[in-house]
Amino acid sequence: MVRLEDIEATLRAKLPVQHLTLEGDGRHFELLIVSEVFNTMPRVRRHQTVYGALGDAMRDELVHALTMQTLTPEEWANRG
């Protein structure tokens, strides 16, 4: 089982995060992350970037399921 704080700290250390919300039960998580690094990326590449940042937690299956929204700062600002 992995703690929310550990996932959040890992993402903030590896990506330039403007906004991040994370909910979960220790194995299943829902993530909303806003980063300028996503500006030129299609959705699949954005998700790959997040998975890559999480590294060992994903490879070792500490995170069983991750649902995510990956937004640019502009997309975040334009959400009604």
Q: Which of left, alpha, beta for 55 (phi over 0: left; psi -120 to 50: alpha)?
A: left
For range 20-28, the mean pLDDT: 91
What confidence tens digit (pLDDT) does each residue in 26-42 have?
A: 888 999 999 999 999 99
Position of tokens 């990956």?
70
For range 13-33, the mean pLDDT: 94
Q: Provide the H-helix boundaries in 3-79.
A: 4-14, 43-54, 56-59, 73-77
**When comparing pLDDT for 47 and 65, which is higher?**
47
Task: Please give the model's pTM, rounded to 2 decimal places.
Answer: 0.90
Is the domain spanning 4-77 CATH 3.30.300.90? The answer is yes
How do the domains of the chain map onto residue ranges? 4-77
Answer yes or no: is pLDDT of 61 > 70.
no
Distance CA 67, CA 77 (A): 21
